[in-house]
Amino acid sequence: MIAETIALTRREVKKWMKNPFLLFMMFIQPVVWLGLFGKALNLTSLVSVPPDLLAQLPPQFRDQVPVLLNRMISETFGGTADYFTYMAAGMLSVIVLFTAMFSGMSIVWDRRFGFLNKLLVAPIPRGSIVLAKVGSSVIRGMFQVLLVFSIAFAFGLQVGDAFGILDLFGMLTALFLLSLGLSSMFLAIAIRIKSHETVVAVANLLNLPLMFASNALFPIKQMPEWLQTVARVSPISYASDAVRAFILHSSAGLDAAKVATDFQFLIGFALIFSLAGILVARTGLRKG
Amino acid sequence: MHVIEAYDLTKRFGNLVAVDHVSFTVEESEIFGFLGPNGAGKTTTINMLTTLLNPTEGSAKVGGFDVEKQDGKVRETVGLVPQDITVDDDLTGMENMMLQAKLYHVPTKVAKERIAEALALVGLTDAANRRVETYSGGMRKRLELAEGLIHHPKVLFLDEPTLGLDVQTRVVIWEYIKKLRDEQKITMFLTTHYMEEADILCDRIAIIDQGKIVALDTPQNLKDGLGGDIIELEFNRKMDDQTETLKSLPQVKDVKKIGDIYRIKVLKGEKALPKMMEDMLKMNLRIGRVSLVKPTLDQVYLEYTGRSLRETQGETEDVWRRMRTLRRVRE
């Protein structure tokens, strides 16, 4: 079981490592996202007080205004230094979502091109086929996360003054749990789908709502009531929350209570969804 | 002991009966062929025998193991060279082979020897470290064949092994298949819709049409079974059915009308034809076109199914798959 899973996972990893175009896209995509969303929508600079208004204020308040504004914005964005940092942290979860979706669904391609039949004829446990798909998807997700994080750092992501290697590890753990659950879920969805068109349609249908109905790109507070309810149960919200907490780790301390809640939810999500997903996927490989 | 035994093997997809109560046995180191048009149920039969599909009815044993109840054992016994090209374009030939070896639990050391051996057999030793993307269609198909050999299967299933390949490559692959049987005593079950291929390769052939076996014998016996030569003739103008008139001629053994063409079975066609033409002229039947056909599998197929293999149409899914395979082969 383990040997076969490793062999199949290596195949998947080799497939994209050897594809220079894919690697380039993996690099360029987060740059575009971070540049467009993070920098163009820099909300901190959107809100400013007109100079004539500022001039009317008593001198002792004048200097206080920008500080106040920054505090207000920082408060809205969960304590991050600017919108870019807020958004870059959420972007990590979104990247995990995208990677999980597309690599989980690569089973459709394998089915279409007959590769899946080759695996099904081989004397290997069905579970190893499923595990290798989920495993390689998680590996790819983590790789992308490190890539995006490095790029965001270069673009000016501001971490708390006590941010260290343990926080990085904590971040990765949260994203790993998210990736595990999402990859299994998408694999289960895709396992019986036979055509490329269907799988792309399903991916598009799920991808935007999952991304926006969470606190990954915008705080939940501004959302309408019903959307808040959805966003509160979205695993992407919890992962983004945990990631932000670790990024903001300052000398004042880590928001341990928040991180604990996030992890409880993420562990539950990963466990339930990966077990259910893997079981459904295994059943999906049954003979007709 | 029979290597493959099938009893009333049946597969239904909804209302469609893809394979309809098919029974046959295959002996050790025999090359057994399933000949039929697209959508006749050839691939479905292979899928049942290789445990990819469960039969709706009936049963089958491969290497003495039941395909439903002992599917794990069957998988260890068989190799499958599928109709689709399933080798991974992004990996090299060697990496594809190593992956296959891992899937069949061949220890790395043994695998290396066998890969070298199999690649040499199919003539891909020099291309082993190139990415499959750079291979021609024929090379991919040969790599596919080599993959099927890596675990020394007792039975090798070949689904349309030469589909879409050019004539030279087909001949090369036929030679490999024969060599394998002769040197390694592997039992082969192959499907094809090329008459020539079935004729050259197979020890015995089952002709399958709409899910049923309509004839099963050696190619020679099937041809002999036609009981003589075939004269195909067409009159020079549209006229009423002349089957009965033709049957009344003394040389004629049997007549079948397909469209406007009459297929007339006679003994010693070369001698019979001139006399028949004289007789027909006397009856004021003018011939527009005539040909004398010596028995071939083509004729056998026509005889049993009433249709020419070339004009039969498969179901859409099958045609689609075939087109994709052809496209990939030709790339």
Residues B245-301 have pLDDT tens digits of 888 888 888 888 888 888 888 888 888 888 888 888 888 888 888 988 878 888 788
pLDDT in tens, A213-243: 888 888 888 788 888 888 888 999 999 989 9
Among A287, A33, A259, A17, smallest CA distance to B67 is for: A287
Other CB atoms within 10 A of residue A40 CB: 7
CA angle centred on B218, ends B214 and B222, rounded to 5°: 55
Among B2, B108, B106, smallest CA distance to B60 is for: B2
Give the side-chain half-sphere CA count within 13 A for B154.
Answer: 16
- pLDDT value at B331 more than 50: no
Q: Which helix (H) or strand (E) holds A87?
A: helix A83-104
pLDDT in tens, A97-145: 988 987 777 888 888 888 888 899 999 888 889 899 999 999 999 998 9
In angstroms, the CA A29 to CA A31 distance is: 5
B121 to chain A, minimum CA–CA distance in Å?
21
Minimal Cβ distance to A121: which of B52, B85, B95: B52
Domain residues of chain A, as ranges?
2-42+82-284
pLDDT in tens, B287-300: 888 988 878 888 78
In angstroms, the CA B31 to CA A157 distance is: 67
pLDDT in tens, B126-184: 999 999 999 988 888 889 988 988 888 899 999 988 887 778 878 888 888 888 888 88
Close Cβ partners of B268 (under 8 Å, ≥ 6 residues apart): B228, B229
Minimal Cβ distance to B82: which of A3, A18, A114: A114
In angstroms, the CA A16 to CA A26 distance is: 10
Q: Which chain B residue shows the shortest CA-CA distance from A285?
A: B52
B232 to chain A, minimum CA–CA distance in Å?
42
User: What is the C-alpha R_g of chain A?
Assistant: 22
Other CB atoms within 10 A of residue B238 CB: 6
Q: Which helix (H) or strand (E) holds B76?
A: helix B71-77
3-state secondary structure A134-199: HHHHHHHHHHHHHHHHHHHHHCCCCCCCCCCHHHHHHHHHHHHHHHHHHHHHHHHHHCCCCCHHHH
pLDDT of residue A175: 96
Q: Which helix (H) or strand (E) holds B252?
A: strand B252-258
CA angle centred on B123, ends B117 and B126, rounded to 5°: 90
**Which position has the token pair 């575009």?**
A32
**Residues B227-294, CATH architecture:** 2-Layer Sandwich (3.30)
Q: Provide the mean pLDDT of chain B.
A: 86
Both tokens of B121, joined, read 């057999």
Q: Does B76 touch chain A (CB under 8 A)?
A: yes
Query: Is the confidence metric ipTM above 0.95 for this complex?
Result: no
B124 to chain A, minimum CA–CA distance in Å?
21
Positions of chain A with pLDDT lower than 70, given as ranges: 40-49, 78-79, 81, 288
- pLDDT value at B310 more than 50: yes
- pLDDT value at B330 more than 60: no
Q: Which chain B residue shows the shortest CA-CA distance from A4?
A: B103
Other CB atoms within 10 A of residue B152 CB: 14
Please provide the distance, in angstroms rounded to a whole number, between the alpha carbons at the two ends of chain B: 43
Over pLDDT 70: what percentage of chain B?
92
Residues of chain B with C-beta less than 8 angstroms from the C-beta of A117: 47, 52, 80, 82, 84, 86
Among B208, B194, B215, smallest CA distance to B46 is for: B208
Close Cβ partners of A76 (under 8 Å, ≥ 6 residues apart): A219, A221
Q: What is the mean pLDDT of residues B31-46?
A: 88
In angstroms, the CA B41 to CA B191 distance is: 10
Close Cβ partners of B108 (under 8 Å, ≥ 6 residues apart): B101
* Interchain pair B105, A15: CB under 8 A: no
Q: In the CATH hierarchy, which fold is given to the domain comprising B4-222? A: Rossmann fold (3.40.50)
Q: Give the Å distances, CA to CA, from B166 to A238, B170, B224, B329.
A: 58, 6, 30, 10
